Chains A and B, each alone.
Chain A
């Protein structure tokens, strides 16, 4: 889009009317942002539209974090969405935020998640139940056709021979397609759509649909996920491409704004700097194991597995190794420690490179940051004999209970943890674990985002326990005052004071 004038103009550009007439059914169409707007927009509008959209996206994030049921979103979202009712405004604001949020992986991930949530919400709103509006075509099928022009709707005679297998693969499907097959009942809501399997990866990988000769057979009820998946992959790719594009002079004036809009959500990688470590604790090869009690379950389980199996597989080494690095274990100590633990392995030959690489001493010498919760939860799940990942997500309740028992959490205190795990609030389960250990933690601990990063959890636990087991010299932070540290590492003591 062109930002041509900075003078104030009416809040909606003139071209809107023309656009509206072009998309006559604009209200029932949902923009999947496949086309870049080529419209003049004033700098003020540019900023205002973006901020209005940002409010919607933030609200979506908040609703999700509070576990508000999607049925209740309407109440909270619609007042904010009012402002984006104008299709052009919606269109422009999306692209402005693309510019703002393409600049780092964390920003892109955040933006992607919220935009997908917004699309889902809109599609669910526009398609109330099975009542088919606008000539038998729902917003979802329309959207699908716009992202996947070659989608094929199975004719009854094509459907019939495949139907038993389609039903077996997609059991949630009600039996209605049978009617289509037998009675030639052209009820469009029971159509089966055939697409190349690469267009329905999410459904394919969870074996939720029938796959034959490279084609996936998708019932109407699963279309929503197809559309959002397609939207997500398109947007993800676009954002990555956009991030590589250098700023044009035309956009120069917007740089400050774009930067400010996006930094709101920048996640601080405070555990990246070498030696950030954990105040109050000096991790060495000899005391790693004794700090298990300060580790969140994902790390404690790796330590327990290490004790038991005398080995960790690739992802486990990475997750745990980087965590320990972030907690202040030096490369030298890490090498000593893991060599000692990997009994019966030729450590130098097989693994030392691996650990040096983690510490940025090999290969492209990147200083890899420890994994945060998002990365652990959304990353590869563990296979047989693997122990990485987030136990609340990747393990059964039984396994988690067993581990909590091992860590000495009383069964009465486990209830809250398990309840959160069962409602798939993995990070909240982890917070519950912390609360079970420290029912009355110092207030300064709560300021920390220990539910988002294993290293923060570790740090908070050390702090909350008073670091009594470490060689602490100064008085403790139990009362929440931060003035008790005399030395220069105040910044590290209080995460609030760390500025990126």
Chain B
């Protein structure tokens, strides 16, 4: 979890509090106000805002006008709303639904009333999303965390015997942070710093995990979010996932945990076998192209681009290979540095695999592999012929070494402690990261390759976008060419949050709601059958 510490306190913001608050109550009126006043300040503010991505004033604006309360409320209710397809809904409208699950959910706020002094309040709960909205607007939390659903509303915790107050359900969550990749990040970033090069690790992680969760565990409702700074979160919301015991959570997390190259590494193979678990095989197919594209070359992490990196890599070969193939290539590559004979990092990798194959009689798996049109397929890891080498342990280790290297440099590094406990808190989606000012936006998995964390809107960018929208609308109104304002249901639709949030609603929320409705219908029919009335 992130610990925001200092905050930018300069109050050089364009939109006044009055407007911001005003705006939620009567949208039409507010629109009118906003379009007139801020446009005057816009010229100065948009420049001065450049370096101020976060401030209490901007946060206030975000909570008042942009935070997608209805999305969060619809999601966390896990109940079908009566007006699901309704287009008239607004955040201030009371909704006739039972918010039972919602009201037993723990929220926690991190407040920072005085810069540098954080107050952390746990065990908050709200009977519905409107109450949560009010509390957020009143307290202006710098961070919101979401915990488990308990037996009783957590705010009444004190009233219950501790034995009777415990978590009953909670999404299965995963937290992946680039901080855990420090030893393999060769782009110059460490800790919370990230760049497009190291972001590819998150791209790989999202794909491997999303596939594994869906195919192996059969989960359908997996939501991914950018954490706002240096990582990603997954929320698995299927009922089966929410009901998992702590032990089952640990098991799922451990299932995905690969300990290659870490402390106490036992490698990918169990000692007695020559096969690799199907989950790892599948992950390898995803990861290997990334390894070739983003890890090996100089414009990636340069694993085989510089002598300082390739020598330790060759030294990590199992002893028999290190002293032969490894020593040999070390000499060869060192001699070729700077000459025309120097191989590209990709070709070095190919050469290394080729030498291992020849020297140790390993079989190229492509011989019986159909997907030859995969453009990097000729780098596939050599595979053992299952016959004579069965007994040769060292040979196994050599055969699996390339796969281990790929995994060491690409496989998702999970913070599994977050996943193991039902009542572990995790930062709420749609929050704003105080250090970057960026919104924790949903990530669309099919297009995760093009997800750019640096393109995620910051608070000041959003403020500017709102201003621009209203300026444009005012201009349009003045010239009589009215834009179709009636399409805007939420203020976030006026900003670049639109595509993120609408994608979330379409790809995650709607399918889940469809399932709830189906379940409700089934239940109703069952009840009717029980009572005997149809």
Tell me the A residues contacting B by CB distance below 8 Å.
165, 167-169, 171-172, 197-198, 201-202, 204-207, 210-215, 233, 244, 314, 346, 349-350, 380-386, 394-396, 399
Q: Given the interface contacts A205-B250, A382-B264, does A165 sit within 8 Å of B274 by beta carbon?
A: no
List 9 A-B pairs, minimum CB-CB distance, nearest first.
A171-B273, A213-B218, A214-B218, A205-B251, A205-B254, A201-B251, A168-B275, A165-B278, A211-B216
9 A-B pairs, CB-CB below 8 angstroms?
A: A167-B275, A168-B275, A168-B278, A204-B251, A210-B277, A211-B216, A214-B240, A395-B263, A396-B264
Q: How far is the CA of A165 from the CA of B244 in the complex (A)?
A: 26
CB closest chain-A residue, reference B248: A198
CB closest chain-B residue, reference A196: B240
Q: Given the interface contacts A165-B278, A168-B275, A210-B278, does A204 sit within 8 Å of B255 by beta carbon?
A: yes
Say which residue of B252, B253, B273, B278 sits within 8 Å of A172 (CB atoms). Answer: B273
Q: Which residues of A contact B274 (CB under 8 A)?
A: 171
How many residue pairs, one in A and one in B, have C-beta atoms under 8 Å apart? 99
Q: Given the interface contacts A167-B275, A214-B240, A385-B180, does A399 sit within 8 Å of B250 by beta carbon?
A: no
CB closest chain-A residue, reference B238: A214
Q: Which residues of A contact B347 (CB under 8 A)?
A: none
Q: Which residues of B contact A168 (CB under 8 A)?
A: 275-278, 281
Q: How far is the CA of A230 from the CA of B77 in the complex (A)?
A: 33
Q: Which residues of A contact B264 (CB under 8 A)?
A: 381-382, 394-396, 399
B319 contacts chain A at the CB level, 8 A cutoff: no
Decide: A384 and B183 in contact? CB cutoff 8 A: yes
CB closest chain-B residue, reference A207: B277
Contact digits for B233-260, partner A, Cβ 8 Å, 1 yes 0 no? 0000000100011011011111101000
B272 contacts chain A at the CB level, 8 A cutoff: yes
B217 contacts chain A at the CB level, 8 A cutoff: yes
Q: How far is the CA of A346 from the CA of B219 in the complex (A)?
A: 40
Q: Given the interface contacts A381-B264, A394-B263, does A201 sit within 8 Å of B247 by beta carbon?
A: yes
User: Chain B interface: which size bin?
Assistant: 35 or more
Query: How would you classify the secondary structure of chain B's contact residues: helix, strand, loop or mixed?
Result: loop
B3-51 CB contacts (< 8 Å) to partner A: 3, 5
Q: A211-B279, A383-B415 are in contact. List 11 more A-B contacts (CB 8 A).
A: A171-B270, A201-B248, A205-B252, A207-B255, A211-B255, A213-B217, A213-B218, A380-B417, A383-B257, A385-B180, A394-B264
Contact digits for B205-224, partner A, Cβ 8 Å, 1 yes 0 no? 00000000001111100000
Q: How far is the CA of A383 from the CA of B252 in the complex (A)?
A: 16
Q: How far is the CA of A203 from the CA of B398 in the complex (A)?
A: 27
CB closest chain-B residue, reference A386: B263
Say which residue of B5, B252, B254, B276 sits within 8 Å of A346 (CB atoms). Answer: B5
The minimal Cβ–Cβ distance linking B335 to chain A, given in whole angstroms, is: 32
B65 contacts chain A at the CB level, 8 A cutoff: no
The minimal Cβ–Cβ distance linking B443 to chain A, given in whole angstroms, is: 24
Decide: A172 and B3 in contact? CB cutoff 8 A: no
Say which residue of A169, A198, A395 sits within 8 Å of B277 (CB atoms). Answer: A169
Say which residue of A202, A350, A384, A396 sits within 8 Å of B251 (CB atoms). Answer: A202
Decide: A383 and B262 in contact? CB cutoff 8 A: yes
Which of B250, B251, B417 gathers most chain A CB within 10 Å? B251
Say which residue of A349, A381, A385 sits within 8 Å of B5 (CB atoms). Answer: A349
Q: Which residues of B contact A172 (CB under 8 A)?
A: 270, 272-273
Q: Which residues of B contact A380 (CB under 8 A)?
A: 417, 420
Q: How far is the CA of A385 from the CA of B413 in the complex (A)?
A: 12
Q: How far is the CA of A349 from the CA of B116 in the complex (A)?
A: 9
Q: Which residues of B contact A167 (CB under 8 A)?
A: 275
B265 contacts chain A at the CB level, 8 A cutoff: yes
The minimal Cβ–Cβ distance linking B463 to chain A, given in whole angstroms, is: 29
The minimal Cβ–Cβ distance linking B216 to chain A, given in whole angstroms, is: 5
B341 contacts chain A at the CB level, 8 A cutoff: no
Decide: A206 and B244 in contact? CB cutoff 8 A: no
Say which residue of B217, B219, B416 sits within 8 Å of A383 (CB atoms). Answer: B416
Q: How far is the CA of A197 from the CA of B250 in the complex (A)?
A: 12
Decide: A205 and B255 in contact? CB cutoff 8 A: yes
Q: How far is the CA of A386 from the CA of B277 in the complex (A)?
A: 26
B487 contacts chain A at the CB level, 8 A cutoff: no
The minimal Cβ–Cβ distance linking A161 to chain B, given in whole angstroms, is: 13
The minimal Cβ–Cβ distance linking A472 to chain B, given in whole angstroms, is: 38
Q: Which residues of A contact B465 (CB under 8 A)?
A: none
B118 contacts chain A at the CB level, 8 A cutoff: yes
Q: How far is the CA of A207 from the CA of B264 in the complex (A)?
A: 17
Which of A215, A314, A383, A399 gathers most chain B CB within 10 Å? A383
Contact digits for B396-417, partner A, Cβ 8 Å, 1 yes 0 no? 0000000000000000010111
Decide: B215 and A212 in contact? CB cutoff 8 A: yes
Contact digits for B113-139, partner A, Cβ 8 Å, 1 yes 0 no? 000101000000000000000000000
